[in-house]
Structure 1
Amino acid sequence: MVFNQYIYAEENPAYHINRIDPENLKNCPTEREVLQEFWAFVQDRDFIVSYNAAFEMHFLEERSELHQIPHGNHAYICLMETFSDFFSTGWKKLPVAVRKCLGIRPSKWHDAKMDAYLALRLFSFFCFLDRPFQLEPIFPKLFRIKFVRLKEKREPVLREWKDEELPF
């Protein structure tokens, strides 16, 4: 499931990146309203999956505290950490990971909705590789998907998924 919502803004300092005209945001909900909606959306989730999860979750929690909005203590999976570990490349931007894993060359103009969609596709790529994997903790709430390297000699771990659900 993907959460995407534009927020009211009088100006858009990121216009040079996302090309979102502030005029189009005039009738959007406030940041406070969207944060409340987001935390309600994820309240029953075990994990939140995001490309740059450490940054994004810190930002959401910080902004929620500013608005005095309670937020959950969710664990999150960082796809940037997963990509970095899988390809031994160090951190790369989402378009680089998408190009390398999916063969898609995203437009240089992007917004949160496109980023969320591409992160979902990237998550699917990693979850359905024909390799055993586990969730590896990086920090107390931050995880990455850790794969057994092909040169490592471990017995494959068979995973059963019921009703086409992911294992977490």
Structure 2
Amino acid sequence: MVWNMQDYPSTMKNLGELVRKKAIDIANALLQDGYPEDRAIPIATKQAQEWYDNASPEEKETFRQEAPPQKNDPHNGKKQNEFLLNTNVQVKHQRNQWQVISKGAKKPSEIYDNKNKAIERAKYIAQNKGTKLEIYKQDGQLQETRDYS
């Protein structure tokens, strides 16, 4: 099921309007990418709150002015994203930052200045996906693999 600003999951009712709008947009995209509702809703809610906490005032205002999400909005869902649901999660160092990225993905899902924070987030993702976590050293060599399957 897809949602809009008038018809959304009850778990989103206490979110601020802008956070709810972002969560609905993210959840609809996740559903189109093949995520089940019970995974899409909490992921979208958490990502929307993180976006709100980290977005600049300009980003928030730009998003506020965008049209609200509709049930029939097209999302560029790709079968590649379904593949990424089952791949290992990696923590890699690049450009003086630690990336949390699914193996085979083009872009990291998150970037951290601190390796331990990146590992903590990657562990959470790997546990939810039921996959392995691959932790790399700063020089690119595999340091450790943890199995959460």
TM-score band by shorter chain is under 0.3
TM-score, normalized by length of structure 1? 0.23
Higher RCO (CA-CA < 8 Å; seq separation 6+): 1
- Return the structure number with greater strand share: 2
- Return the structure number with greater helix share: 2
